[in-house]
Amino acid sequence: MDNNFHEGMQKMDKRFHVHVATQVGGNRNELLAGLEDLGFAHDVVLGGVEGLPDSQQICHMTDLHMTLKVETVEESSRIADLVDQLMRKTETIGYFHTERCENKLPVDSAFKVNNWRPNSHRPFPAHVFRSAYRPMMNKTWDLHGSVAEDELPLRLKKYLLDQGMYFIRREKPDGKIYTIFTIQGVSPDSEGLELFQRLVGWWASIEGPKVVLQWESTLRMAQYGQGLKIVPPTIERVEWR
């Protein structure tokens, strides 16, 4: 990766993120109050998820989806311990994970929405991702990109879906809606980093719309309760082209 890659990296003051997702059940009010006391904020996820294995719609089964961002690994560990206590005490069905945001990079190009076409000379850097649900198996890395919904052409979205990415819609604090595409893995996080770097180069080469690409490594993850259905699907490994 050239110097432009490193120079383009965004500075992240709060690079340690703690995410909590739950299904309906348990002592919801006590859990919600405890998370809000710790400073967690609601993630505004709209509708279901596109591109999941077996066409499941895990977001329709999700009750709470909340995030807290902190500055140090020590603070993320302290918060994780408190969340673990809350999840157990309230008999919650769900999971939490803490992530270190390793890289975050905006990629912009001279993009014109109506002109994008898949280009056989610039193939996607990996073969089709084969995601699967792996209950009680914790992910090790997470890669995602965020594009303003009104700037993402349907051709490109379908292309990424065909590659095995899956999509959610989120509303940001300014009210704007973004399409988030993601893939998560259980392989060594170095593989996730390589995928991120290749995807940055591929996105620039196809002159895609403005996107913020991000790669995160998982520090800790825990799953709770019988009948957990909202755990994210993962891939075992990346098969490179």
Cα–chain center distance at 209: 19
For 78-131, what is each residue's pLDDT tens digit?
Answer: 999 999 999 999 999 999 999 999 888 888 876 655 566 776 668 899 999 999
End-to-end Cα spacing for the chain:
18
pTM of the model: 0.86
**Sheet holding 211-224: strands in order across?**
41-42, 62-70, 16-23, 94-107, 211-224, 141-148, 177-185, 166-171, 45-50
Output the pLDDT for position 58: 54
Q: Which amino acid is at 225?
A: G
Output the pLDDT for position 155: 87
Please report, rounded to a whole number, the percentage of residues in the chain having pLDDT higher than 90: 61
d(CA 135, CA 225): 11
- Name the helix (H) or strand (E) containing 20: strand 16-23
Low-confidence stretches of the chain (pLDDT beneath 50): 1-12
Output the pLDDT for position 22: 94
